[in-house]
A = this chain, B = another copy of it.
């Protein structure tokens, strides 16, 4: 059985992430989504919330599990006995940084294979950062096709009556 991990912050999960998980779940026997549990980074959602939103988003995918991890990504792959690490590439990605990480991971864990999937055209320019700004300063109804209803509701709760009221 071929297992793959799909690691990230997912703050929050977008339809772009979900598309990558769905495609990875077709390629491999099992996909473990790894939600990085980091105390350092300033995130909008708690680890708990990010895991819950992800779990709901992938509930219909029978070969996908969601877990948290706080180790090196390649060590998480090993814990999960996953020889494959999946990443989504977008045009908005920093390719030099992607290569840097890929080469460092290869050095740390030569046995873990990095598999890159390219985001679909409609998600090429969708970043969690811009999504949050759009909801915070704008009108959440405009991002309905970028996130699930549950994530949209969660974003509105975070940004309070202002964003919620507009919709």
Q: Which residues does A use to contact B, with CB under 8 Å?
A: 2, 23, 26-27, 70-72, 74-75, 83-84, 89, 91-97, 99-104, 106-108, 113-118, 120-122, 124-127, 130-131, 133-134, 137-139, 142-143, 146
Contacts and interface: CB of A to CB of B under 8 A. Distances in A.
A19 B143 CA distance: 24
Given A75-B137, A75-B138, A96-B91, A121 B117 contact: no
| From A83, A89, A107, A120, residue with most partner B Cβ within 10 Å | A107
25 contacts: A23-B113, A26-B83, A26-B113, A72-B134, A91-B124, A92-B97, A95-B95, A102-B118, A103-B118, A103-B121, A103-B124, A104-B125, A104-B126, A104-B130, A106-B120, A106-B121, A107-B142, A107-B143, A108-B138, A108-B139, A115-B115, A116-B117, A116-B118, A121-B125, A122-B122
Contacts of A131: 104
A115 B113 contact: no
Given A101-B130, A108-B134, 15 more contacts: A27-B115, A72-B137, A75-B137, A75-B138, A91-B99, A99-B125, A100-B125, A102-B118, A104-B130, A106-B120, A106-B121, A108-B143, A114-B118, A121-B125, A122-B122
